Each structure stands twice: as structure tokens, then as C-alpha cells.
Amino acid sequence: MARIMPLGEAVAQCVTDGASLAMEGFTHLIPHAAAHEVIRQGRKDLTVMRMTPDLIYDQMIGMGCVAKLIFSFAGNPGVGLLRRLRDAVENGWPRAIEIEEHSHAAMANAYEAGAAGLPCAIFRGYRGAELKRVNPNIKSVICPFTGEELAAVPALNPDVAIIHAQKADKQGNVLIEGIVGVQKEAVLAAKAAIVTVEEVVEDLRGLHPNLCILPHWTVDCISVVPGGAHPSYTQGYYPRDNAFYTEWDAISADRDGFLAWMDEHVLKSGPEDFARHAGKGA
């Protein structure tokens, strides 16, 4: 049953050292404010999963929060590589991390299987691809009806899913619209879920019969964080800050510059600092 509470309280309640986290959002609605809160609270040894690790996992890895990363595309989209992730994988800085690498289709299927309560996902994938040589969690099954060999990967069932959404209503029902990615699946696959939202409205009923809505009883904590997806975006509220995504390449290029930026913008800041990014028009 969803309770509306400050973000710091929500993260303290749900995220423990060693937990597995899915902080999803496919380019759109990436929960940046929540990731910063996890970093500020100093969580360690996390297993983090995400189709597109993007800047938030680059930041969490660079700050030493992560023991294992499960992912399918680890780039700064349209800009280049994730430099903190590279430093961890290539040089073990600030700590070595384990990686489990999949394709997008595998991750999307694995979240769906997790939401559906199945032990694994089955799909036509990885044929002729070398990831199955290096990832023991990519296996195959034979269709009992046709004999076709299909790829199988374990379902993803994170301890905690954290997402950002447009709005919740007072009862705690959550509306997501635009590019919805795998957020619904991640929340339904998880043992607990935190949703940051731009705003709380009176009631979401009756707006449209097919809206993507997570009922309040699928979510544990809702935190109101206007601008909380920045530099990602919230459709209808503010656009993607493409200039910042480009700047991140330079900010994250060396360890000292990265740490200085994190100190100023994360460790010495709070969720309320995201508000200045809200309401810039979409």
C-alpha cells in the first residue's frame, strides 16, 4: 500500500546494503534524484540492473555503491562510452565490479517474466551471438511442440524497483505516459517499489480507459520530487537536457573531476535541488 513520504525516508526504508535494485526508465523518466539519494545514503554492495545503465549507474559505480551490474547497453546514448563504468571494468576503480551482460530483448523479456511470476523468459534470441559464450545465465530450451531451440534467461526479480513517473493521485495510484519502457514490469517484478513523481493530483480515475497506471497497492513509497528525472526528461513537464548528457562526457573523464562534481551536486545537495529543472516546458 503506497505511502507518500520524503525521498530520503523512502530510500532508507527500502534500500539496504547488498540489495538488488532496478532503477528503470528507457531514456525517458530516469530516476536521477533517487539514484543520488542512494549514493548520499552510502549504500554498498548493490546489485544493480537496468537495460541502459546511462548516467545514474555510471555515478553509482564511480561512487563505489555497486558490486554487480546486469545490463544490455552501457553507453551515454548518442555521446559515447560510460567512463566511470569503463574505469571499474578495465581498472577496478574504485572497486572491481561483476558484470552480467544481456541484449535488450533478453532484459525486457526477463522483467516481463519476473512480473508474470515465471522462473525464466523464453524468446528467439542470441543466435550466432557471442554473449552466450561469456554469460552462463544465457541458456536454451527446446520447444516441446515444434522442436525449435529458443533462448532462455532467468527472470529478473529485484528486491527494489525505483522509477520516476508523471503523477500519482492522493490514493497513491501512479500514472506513466510517453516512452514507458519496462517500468511497469520492473515494479511488478520487484519485492518493493519506490516511485518519485512530478506531482500529486486529486484522482487519476476517468482520464482515459487505457492509461498505463500502477495501482496504489503495487507501490510501497511515493515521493514527490519535481524535476527528479533531470537530465533525463518527463514527457509533458520538461525536455531531455541533451547538453548535459554531452557535458557528462567531460565531467566523468577523470576521477578527480568526477568526484568533485559528485561532491557538489550530489553529496552536498538534496532532492529539492531538482525542482529548478521542473517546469521548463516539454
Q: Is 128 in the site for another protein (CB under 8 A)?
A: yes
Judge whether 69 and 89 are in contact, CB under 8 Å: no
| # binding residues, another protein (CB under 8 A) | 58
Q: How far apart are CA 101 and CA 103, in angstroms?
A: 7
Q: How far apart are CA 262 and CA 266, in angstroms?
A: 5
Cβ count within 10 A of residue 279? 12
* Alpha-carbon 168 to chain mean position: 19
Give min distance, CB of 57 to another protein, in A: 12
* Only segment of 6-14, 34-42, 100-108, 159-167 that touches another protein (CB under 8 A): 100-108
Give min distance, CB of 158 to another protein, in A: 15
Q: Which of residues 161-180 bind another protein (CB under 8 A)?
A: 178-180
Contact code string over 23-52 relative to another protein, x by CB under 8 A? ---xxx----------------------xx
Judge whether 88 and 95 are in contact, CB under 8 Å: yes
- Beta carbon nearer to another protein, 9 or 149: 149
Judge whether 24 and 7 are in contact, CB under 8 Å: no
Q: Is 57 in the site for another protein (CB under 8 A)?
A: no
Q: Is 114 in the site for another protein (CB under 8 A)?
A: no
Contact code string over 232-271 relative to another protein, x by CB under 8 A? -x-x---xxxxxxxx-------------------------
Give min distance, CB of 9 to another protein, in A: 30
In the structure, how many helices (H) and strands (E) does the chain have? 9, 15
Q: Out of 85, 190, 192, 229, which residue is the one contacting another protein (CB under 8 A)? A: 85
* Alpha-carbon 35 to chain mean position: 9
Q: Is 142 in the site for another protein (CB under 8 A)?
A: no
Give min distance, CB of 42 to another protein, in A: 26
Q: Out of 3, 68, 104, 255, which residue is the one contacting another protein (CB under 8 A)? A: 104
**Residues across the chain:** 282
Give min distance, CB of 217 to another protein, in A: 21
Q: Out of 36, 58, 71, 152, which residue is the one contacting another protein (CB under 8 A)? A: 71
- Which residue's C-alpha cell is 520538461? 238
Q: Out of 37, 58, 100, 112, which residue is the one contacting another protein (CB under 8 A)? A: 112
3-class SS string, 144-204: CCCCCEEEEEECCCCCEEEEEEEEEECCCCEEECCCCCCHHHHHHHCCEEEEEEEEEECCC
Q: Out of 2, 46, 56, 126, which residue is the one contacting another protein (CB under 8 A)? A: 126
Judge whether 46 and 61 are in contact, CB under 8 Å: no
DSSP H stretches of helix in the chain: 7-14, 32-40, 54-62, 83-91, 104-115, 131-134, 183-189, 242-251, 255-262
Residues in the site for another protein, rule: CB under 8 A? Answer: 26-28, 51-52, 71-75, 77-79, 81-82, 85-86, 89-90, 101, 103-105, 108-109, 111-112, 123-131, 134, 148-149, 178-182, 184-185, 212, 233, 235, 239-246, 282
